[in-house]
Structure 1
Amino acid sequence: MGQTTHEASRGRVKAARAALGPIGVSVPTTGMETVPMPQQIEGIRRLEKAGYRAAWAREGVGGHDALVEIATLLGATEQLVLGSAVANMWARPAVTLHAAAATLGEAFPGRFVLGLGAGMAYQAEALGLRYARPYSLMRDYLRAMTTPVPGLPTAEQTYARIIAANGPKMVELAASAADGAHPGLIPVEYTASVRATLGPDKLLVVALTVVALADRRAARDAAGQFVVGALGFPGSPYGANLARLGYTSDEIAAGADRVVDAVMAYGRPDDIAARARAHLDAGADHVLVNCVLPGYETGIQQLEGLAPALTEITG
């Protein structure tokens, strides 16, 4: 008798937890800029040499294809696990994404995790497509990824699949239709809430956005500027989630210290490591550290500087 859907998901989650370890990093392409692949290869090798076990690539629409980037970076490294955080559903049809992800899982066993996001309305509109409620879009896309198409082959799911999920409905969808959730810009207390919804058998990858500067005031100021840009615009899913958690619209729009302190880590390496540990203690399986100061080389250098403090975290 074959595995049930739940048993298969539990097996994928167990394998992903073991492969990822407690700490990963985001490839520092802030703002979705396209970084030349030779530069990315050199940078990813430096991150692996620094001791990181996992790295994650993001994706917009247009520019580089995240799955092709990940395939290139997997081929350029020895053991590093690569994930998408997140692949954009508007970049390709569901069947195409599943085929690409399954191929990566087959070619690099245990070294690929798919994170998937619903993208933004302007991305869909730029392609002449209709954006609807993210929950419905994601539910239908997930279903279409692995539903057999008559007359066409269907690849086996060789990879763990998590979805960008901040609000409660998306977290519930992650629990019922995916292998886990990938929230970001959330307080530690909310990590515990997400874990409670997911239960023990799903993967929880929390994105921790950081500003690594020794001058704590300068770091907080830079973190506040990021919060204003990421949370303060109308329709921001991150801002909407914080509003549900009791933060006021004025606080969110202004990047108030209370908001910055809740969702960002800033300062010295030990400060950032302490916040990562707090998310792990609250139920995260893996914390993805995302440096937001501009510039690819700046990001690589910051992650190298953080490595001694972060790579000693054992979960």
Structure 2
Amino acid sequence: MSASPGLAGIAHEKARGWARRLGAVGVWTIDLDRLPVAAAREYLRALESLGFGALWIGEGLGSREAFANAGVLLAASQQLIIATGIANIWARDAIAMANGARTLVDAYPDRFLLGIGVSHAPTVKMRGRRYGRPVEHMRGYLDAMDAAPYVGPKVDAPRVLAALGPQMLRLAGERALGAHPYFVPVEHTTVARRELGEGPLLAVEQAAVLSEDPATARATARRHMKRYLDLDNYTRNLRRLGWSDADLANGGSDKLVDAIVAWGDAGAIKSRVVEHRRRGADHVCVQVLRTDLSAPPTRELEAVAKVVL
């Protein structure tokens, strides 16, 4: 059921407020999962000193638990917004999800944004669950979140949905602040904004390689893309956008690689961010890809920050 015009207006006003707080550009990373917490704290201080206002963290099999991780990161930073991109709805029931978010929002007002998603069939199967009808399942999950009992102070826990297809995008506009698309070319941003409408938040992930050598950059990009090109949700979305089976095969055609992963100098990354923004994104979270994962990409993000912030 869609919200009434009055309620929709209030939701859109909140979404606009979050767009301002997030800023035009943030950071998306799984790098912190590989670091000791002490090193992660240092990385957060570096991000804040560079001027980034938002950090998006993922949750997958083998990663840190989303709420525990977000709590550690919020405590370790001063003003940085921590957003989950995303917390898996199959990892916890709706009451736990709702109340985990309420707890962090109460502790860190205006600094925690809950992103949730339906995940992917292979991951859900590994959790011993059965994947099916993602939009319907998400709708029921949101109903249960909204009805979740909570004895703590009444707080408004903002949320966004991982959304690629038109039905999930529309649901994100109706039942959340907006959408957080991942692994998408810029043309998807046009589609997403059209489905969401003008009011909801659109926060898009953009992978990037800071290398001007095409062979090196594309090799790094393909290592990143391989896992996603094995997942139906992403390949279905790319086919919906007009990409062919040939584009999706063998790690992705050069054209697809270049569309999914921005590469080059910091100026090239900025150009991709600007294009997402031109097509309707409120916020673009940049995920820096590298071959050396022994340390976080502070140097690369410093170069990006100089041209986008």
> Do Structure 1 and Structure 2 share a fold, with TM-score over 0.5?
yes
- State yes or no: 1:271 paired with 2:273: no
Q: Tell me, in whole angstroms, the C-alpha distance in 1 between the residues paired with 2:200 and 2:220.
A: 34
Q: 1:261: which partner in 2?
A: 258
Q: 1:47: which partner in 2?
A: 47
Amino acid in the other structure paired with 1:140:
G
TM-score by length of 2: 0.90
**Cα gap change, 1:225/1:72 in structure 2, threshold over 3 Å: closer, same or farther?**
closer
Partner deviation per Cα, 1:35-60 (whole Å, 9 max, x = no partner): 32112111111111111111111111
Deviates more, 1:269-278 or 1:46-55: 46-55
TM-score by length of 1: 0.89
Q: 1:170: which partner in 2?
A: 168
The offset of 1:158, in angstroms, is 2.1
Structure 2 unmatched runs, 5+: none
Amino acid in the other structure paired with 1:184:
Y
Q: Secondary structure at the match of 1:78?
A: coil
- State yes or no: 1:242 paired with 2:242: no
Q: Is the 8 A contact 2:27 2:285 kept in 1?
A: yes
Q: Secondary structure at the match of 1:284?
A: coil
Deviates more, 1:126-135 or 1:19-28: 126-135
Deviates more, 1:238-247 or 1:129-138: 129-138
Partner deviation per Cα, 1:73-98 (whole Å, 9 max, x = no partner): 11111111110011111221111111
Structure 1 unmatched runs, 5+: none
**Cα gap change, 1:260/1:126 in structure 2, threshold over 3 Å: closer, same or farther?**
closer
The offset of 1:34, in angstroms, is 4.4
Q: Tell me, in whole angstroms, the C-alpha distance in 2 between the residues paired with 1:194 and 1:278.
A: 14
Q: Is the 8 A contact 2:45 2:77 kept in 1?
A: yes
Q: Tell me, in whole angstroms, the C-alpha distance in 2 between the residues paired with 1:211 and 1:63.
A: 23
The offset of 1:287, in angstroms, is 0.2
Residue 290 of structure 2, aligned match among 254, 276, 293: 293
Q: 1:229: which partner in 2?
A: 227
Q: Tell me, in whole angstroms, the C-alpha distance in 2 between the residues paired with 1:96 and 1:280.
A: 34
Residue 208 of structure 2, aligned match among 187, 207, 210: 210
Q: Tell me, in whole angstroms, the C-alpha distance in 1 between the residues paired with 2:12 and 2:166.
A: 22
Same amino acid, percent of matched pairs: 34
Partner deviation per Cα, 1:217-272 (whole Å, 9 max, x = no partner): 421332234333322x2x43111111111111121123101212222201110000
Q: Secondary structure at the match of 1:90?
A: coil
**Cα gap change, 1:260/1:35 in structure 2, threshold over 3 Å: closer, same or farther?**
same
Q: 2:38: which partner in 1?
A: 38
Q: Tell me, in whole angstroms, the C-alpha distance in 1 between the residues paired with 2:277 and 2:181.
A: 13
Q: Tell me, in whole angstroms, the C-alpha distance in 1 between the residues paired with 2:123 and 2:182.
A: 20
Deviates more, 1:166-175 or 1:210-219: 210-219
- State yes or no: 1:127 paired with 2:127: yes
